[in-house]
């Protein structure tokens, strides 16, 4: 999730558990600690693929964060002892502030390595968009009220209510994910399509309209499903270019990206360049993680030693308005195929691809 959400989540948890003794400082401590795992973004891992796939790694590991919570508990008791609350309560607070950061990240589509240094495919429950005001606002309100009226000596009602509301909202998003996948699976069965893999994620800034991706050999299908749909979802078949992946068979960077994304990749030849796109994130045709992997040289693909990330395309407000209309009006047509075909255009700001 975004840094503001992580900060107010940490602040709300620490305010709820230690605010009676720490007062407003609990909100500050919780906000700072709640953003700590994301400090790994300052590390340069060597190239764009490494930066993406090592992010949310060791700093988001439940094992590492448990150790950090134990260390901070010992340091706090040694140098800032407060007899008002127990060591167990202090540890639980610090542990929850740290681990809820990484667990919340796991609800997004990016991929979080909860069990680092072990190497299962990163966790991506993908039930909430990386920025979702309905999740963030209750926590923000709780923090603002805590700053205005104080916490010391008071039961943590506002903070507890905010945490309960946001937890219920996360449960609702999981329900939306299940709904969307069930409807698409029924349509796949009706059309006799056997999915290799299915991935669902909410469209930007909401949890009412869902984007479902289905891998099917050389192609993939996309569908939009709203809570308010009455008809079966429409599947758009889109070329995936998997034949180009053979050129990357010996690329460690490609193998790592394939592992990190669970295989949800698309391949395009743009001029003399081979571009690989993570199709999980963003919106159809507007994906933040696209990589220039190789260049055609004398009829052979030459994989780059250091992979570069292409400039991100984010779409425009008119497309967000169209998606918003689609939530409530199933008859609104979203040109998914046309948007997806825009990935075949070389970014104008990248000279190497012109």
Tokens standing for residue 288 = 């933040």
Please, what is the Cα angle at 310 between 309 and 312, to 5 degrees?
110
Percent of the chain whose predicted confidence (pLDDT) is above 90: 92
Closest CA to 233 of 183, 189, 192: 183
Mean pLDDT of the residues in the chain: 94
Instruction: For the chain, give the longest Cα–Cα distance.
Output: 74
The string of pLDDT tens digits covering residues 210-256 is 999 999 999 999 999 999 999 999 999 999 999 999 999 999 999 99
The answer to whether the CB of 110 falls within 8 A of the CB of 281 is yes
The answer to whether the CB of 261 falls within 8 A of the CB of 237 is no
Walk across the sheet containing 300-309 and list its strands: 265-270, 273-278, 290-297, 300-309
pTM of the model: 0.94
pLDDT mean over 279-295: 96
| pLDDT value for 312 | 79
d(CA 70, CA 57): 19
d(CA 48, CA 63): 26
The string of pLDDT tens digits covering residues 163-213 is 999 999 999 999 999 999 999 999 999 999 999 999 999 999 999 999 999
The string of pLDDT tens digits covering residues 99-124 is 999 999 999 999 999 999 998 999 99
Is the previous residue joined to 117 through a cis bond, with omega within 30 degrees of 0?
yes
> b/e for 119-156, b at 16 or more Cβ within 10 A?
eeebbbbbbbbbebebbbebbbbbbebbeeeebeeeeb
The string of pLDDT tens digits covering residues 292-350 is 999 999 889 999 999 999 987 777 889 999 999 999 999 999 999 999 999 998 665 55
The string of pLDDT tens digits covering residues 38-76 is 999 999 999 999 999 999 999 999 999 999 999 999 999
The answer to whether the CB of 200 falls within 8 A of the CB of 228 is no
Residue 154 pLDDT class (50, 70, 90 cuts): confident
Closest CA to 342 of 234, 263, 266: 266
């Amino acid at each position: 999730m975004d840094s503001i959400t992580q900060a107010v989540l940490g602040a709300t948890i620490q305010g709820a558990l230690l605010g009676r003794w720490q007062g407003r400082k609990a909100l500050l401590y919780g906000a700072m600690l709640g953003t700590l795992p994301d400090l790994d973004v300052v590390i340069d891992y060597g190239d764009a693929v490494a930066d993406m796939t090592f992010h949310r790694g060791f700093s988001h590991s439940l094992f590492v964060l448990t150790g950090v919570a134990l260390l901070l508990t010992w340091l706090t008791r040694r140098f800032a002892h407060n007899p008002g609350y127990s060591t167990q309560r202090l540890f639980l607070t610090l542990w929850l502030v740290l681990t809820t950061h990484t667990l919340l990240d796991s609800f997004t589509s990016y991929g979080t390595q909860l069990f680092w240094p072990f190497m299962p495919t990163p966790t991506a429950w993908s039930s909430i968009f990386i920025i979702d005001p309905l999740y963030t606002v209750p926590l923000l309100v709780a923090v603002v009220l805590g700053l205005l009226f104080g916490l010391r000596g008071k039961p943590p009602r506002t903070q507890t209510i905010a945490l309960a509301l946001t937890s219920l909202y996360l449960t609702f998003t999981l329900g939306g994910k299940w709904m969307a996948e069930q409807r698409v699976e029924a349509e796949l069965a009706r059309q006799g399509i056997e999915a290799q893999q299915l991935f669902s994620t909410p469209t930007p800034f909401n949890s009412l309209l869902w984007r479902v991706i289905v891998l099917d050999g050389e192609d993939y299908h996309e569908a939009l499903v709203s809570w308010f749909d009455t008809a079966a979802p429409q599947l758009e078949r889109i070329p995936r270019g998997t034949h180009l992946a053979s050129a990357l068979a010996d690329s460690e960077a490609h193998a790592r990206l394939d592992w990190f994304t669970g295989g949800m990749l698309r391949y395009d030849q743009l001029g003399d360049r081979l571009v690989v796109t993570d199709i999980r994130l963003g919106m159809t045709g507007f994906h933040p993680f696209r990589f220039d992997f190789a260049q055609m040289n004398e009829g052979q693909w030459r994989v780059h030693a250091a992979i570069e990330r292409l400039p991100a395309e984010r779409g425009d407000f008119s497309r967000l308005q169209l998606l918003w209309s689609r939530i409530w009006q199933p008859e609104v047509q979203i040109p998914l195929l046309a948007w997806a075909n825009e990935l075949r255009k070389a970014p104008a700001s990248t000279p190497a691809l012109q």
